[in-house]
Amino acid sequence: EANSIEFDANTKEPVIFLIDEFIDAAGAKQIRTTTSPMGGTMRLGEYECNTKEGSNLREAYGISTIFERHRHRYEANPTYREALELNGMIITGESNGLIEAVEVVDHPWFLGVQFHPEFTSRLQSPNPSILTFVKKSLDLK
């Protein structure tokens, strides 16, 4: 029954939901509802993300706090954090209580992120998460 409210507004298990309150990149409190105009419901800009020690995310960046760009309106629902972790997923990146990155415990190398690493990648300077993904893919080939 788990679903995203983007696809089923009446789902009983909204694992992916429209975040209703957050602090924007300028430090202002933003409030959103399902009735807000779609253009005003996006989380835009650069946000801080705290990385978990020992994680693939921390390995990729090599630091405890990163800043990445966002452009989305739906989030992983933190209410389901315990259920996700009990079933093999680890939350490895967070920003003010929001889930920014996840990994899978028994996978050789898995990293899912809420932010957009392609926004900060350049030919001669790929984003650390993309570069590490490619390197690990080659190593595990």
pLDDT in tens, 39-70: 566 777 889 999 999 999 999 999 999 999 98
Take residue 122 and report the two structure tokens written for it.
């350049």
Confidence (pLDDT) at 99: 93
Confidence (pLDDT) at 75: 87
Q: Give the span between the Cα atoms of 141 and 134, in whole angstroms.
A: 10
Instruction: Enumerate residues 6+ apart whose C-beta is below 8 A from 80.
Output: 2, 13, 15
Q: Of 86, 14, 100, 12, nearest to 52 (Cα)?
A: 100
Q: Give the span between the Cα atoms of 93 and 98, in whole angstroms.
A: 9
Confidence (pLDDT) at 43: 78
| Residue 39 one-letter amino acid | G
Q: Give the span between the Cα atoms of 41 and 127, in whole angstroms.
A: 26
| 81-107 pLDDT per residue, tens | 999 999 999 999 999 888 999 999 999
Average pLDDT of the residues in 5-19: 86
Q: What is the residue extent of each domain of the chain?
A: 2-139
2-139 carries CATH number 3.40.50.880? yes
What are the counts of helices (DSSP H) followed by strands (DSSP E) for the chain? 3, 10
Whether residue 35 contacts residue 15, with contact meaning beta carbons closer than 8 Å, is answered with no
Categorize the per-residue pLDDT at 141 as very low, low, confident or very high, splitting at 50, 70 and 90: confident
Confidence (pLDDT) at 22: 64
Confidence (pLDDT) at 33: 67
Average pLDDT of the residues in 19-40: 67
In this structure, the number of other CB atoms found within 10 A of the CB of residue 66 comes to 23
Confidence (pLDDT) at 115: 94
